[in-house]
Amino acid sequence: MVSIAGSKKLKRQMAPLFWGITRKDKRFVVTVRPGGHKKDTSVPSAVLVRDTLKLANTLREAKSVIYGGKVKVDGIVRKSLHHGIGLMDVVELQGVPEIYRLVPKDLTVLKPIAISESEKTKKLLKVTKKVTIKDKKTQLGFHDGRNLISDTKVSVGDTCLVQIPETKILDIIKLEKGVQVIVTSGVNAGKMGRVAEIREGTFVLPKRALIDIDDRQIEVPSDSIMAVGKDKPVIQIQ
């Protein structure tokens, strides 16, 4: 019977650079299966364990770790080699003292940083959709594929600080003038700055933000930034 979920492997030459894999070792590498994060902005759990964190030497060792239920993503055990781990996801590995969060850093879309034990239950989620469903309730859609029915006053583009794995909203960070943001994609990925102006989109141009970074100002689409705090980030992201 044919699988409808796509291929389980990818040519190494076609893999995103932030995976950190060698290009001339073998022909194929494990790829991401459909899930909450987009394929080009996430890393499969097997590659994260073996190549990014370098906690395994071979795919066989990575399989043993993952199939053994030793990998938690956002507090939930994930036993798939192909599970996509993306922006702001929290990763725990049994027997490893460090807890990691994947963030944009050093002009790279995703890099793991070590965080404290107290922060492993907190995560930033960007609101990407907001729809009205049955009984006039509001359903929020987040950048990692989660959905939540909530009466919280929030707009598309805002960021929610949530408690995981329950997805309980703890705070709202509005995307507005003066807020601290981090660039999540493009040539400035990982840069942090303060919003100087929000420019509404037109028929031709998307919604954009002017951001003061160091001694310069850049303009980026609002889809490429995430609000992280008013004066400083509400959680560790660097």
Mean pLDDT of 40-46: 92
Task: Look up the CATH number of the domain holding residue 140.
Answer: 2.40.50.740
Structure tokens, 130: 């907001």
Residue 39 has pLDDT above 90, yes or no: no
Task: Look up the CATH number of the domain holding residue 214.
Answer: 2.30.30
Task: Look up the CATH number of the domain holding residue 18.
Answer: 3.10.290.10
Answer yes or no: do 168 and 184 share one domain. Answer: no
Residue 234 in domain:
no
Answer yes or no: do 80 and 23 share one domain. Answer: yes
Answer yes or no: do 31 and 81 share one domain. Answer: yes
Answer yes or no: do 13 and 62 share one domain. Answer: yes
Indicate the residue among 151, 172, 193 that finishes a domain.
172
Domain that holds residue 203: 180-229
Residue 60 in domain:
yes
Residue 131 in domain:
yes
Residue 140 in contact with residue 127, Cβ under 8 Å? yes
What is d(CA 195, CA 210) in angstroms, rounded to the nearest whole number? 6
In the chain, how many domains are there? 3
User: 57 versus 34: which is more confidently predicted?
Assistant: 57
Q: DSSP assignment, residue 13?
A: G
Answer yes or no: do 75 and 56 share one domain. Answer: yes
Answer yes or no: do 41 and 80 share one domain. Answer: yes
Mean pLDDT of 157-171: 95
Residue 210 in domain:
yes
The pLDDT assigned to 204 comes to: 87
Residue 193 in domain:
yes
- Ramachandran sector of residue 201 (left: φ over 0; alpha: ψ -120 to 50; beta: rest): beta
Q: Name 163's bridge partners.
A: 122, 168
Residue 70 in domain:
yes
Residue 116 in domain:
no
Averaged confidence pLDDT in the chain: 91
The pLDDT assigned to 23 comes to: 77
| pLDDT tens per residue, range 100-113 | 999 999 888 999 99
Q: Name 73's bridge partners.
A: 76, 91
Percent of the chain with pLDDT over 90: 74
Residue 90 in domain:
no
